[in-house]
Structure 1
Amino acid sequence: MEARIYRPTKSAMTSGRGNTRAWILEFVKPGARRSADPLMGWTSIDDTSGQVRLEFDTQEQAVEYAQREGMTFRVEEARERKRLVKSYSENFSFDRKQPWTH
């Protein structure tokens, strides 16, 4: 069984970074067949292991679990966001890239 280990990103709808500290292990089956239910229009899949998400405190714990269970896995490193720290006084600095006009 193949697994994907990653750290979730923050929601685009909020400014907080809650629920982004844990590492997630998800089972991936690329050949799983999906079909649409004709009555309700829901999508169903023949393999329900894709619904399982395991949470770990660290990346090492997730990797150890996958190795212990004999899974093939890939680790997706989370990109850290860059913060551009500016102060209000930089709006009036002489070396601005765009002139300040009003």
Structure 2
Amino acid sequence: MNARLYQRPKSSMQSGRAHTGQWLLEMERDDRLRQDPLTGWSGSGFTEGQVRLAFPSQQAALDYAAANDIAVEILPLGPRHLKLQAYADNFR
């Protein structure tokens, strides 16, 4: 079983950095979605893809993955770009 491990990014709808220190472990999909011929809905038998596990640190997530024989791909969080602007710049 393969999984992705990444740090939760800050939402664009929030100004604070709450829950951004958490590490998330998501299972990668191993099969394709099938279309139901009766309803037309897409579905799959892969229920592990519906689970997202949160860990307080990267090492805790790696320990969990090692204990459960899960191959992990670590996705680094991109750099933060701050646009420093003074309030007075709005009136120039």
What is the TM-score of this pair, normalised by structure 1?
0.71
Over 3 Å counting, the alpha-carbon distance change for 1:86 and 1:50 in structure 2 is: same
Task: Write the distance in 2 (CA, Å) between the matches of 1:61 and 1:38.
Answer: 43
Percent pairwise identity: 35
Cα displacement (A) at 1:90: 6.2
Q: State how many pairs are aligned.
A: 91
Gaps of 5+ in 2: none
Which structure is higher in RCO with an 8 Å CA cutoff and minimum separation 6? Answer: 2
Instruction: Give secondary structure in 2 for the equivalent of 1:61.
Output: helix
CA deviation after TM superposition for structure 1 residue 6, in Å: 0.8
Is the Cα contact below 8 Å between 1:33 and 1:46 reproduced in 2?
no
Task: Please state if 1:42 is matched with 2:45.
Answer: no
Q: Is the 8 A contact 1:7 1:22 kept in 2?
A: yes
2:82 maps to 83
Amino acid at match of 1:58: S
TM-score (norm 2): 0.77
Partner SS state of residue 73, structure 1: strand
Structure index of larger Rg: 1
* CA RMSD, 1 decimal: 2.3
2:9 paired residue number:
9
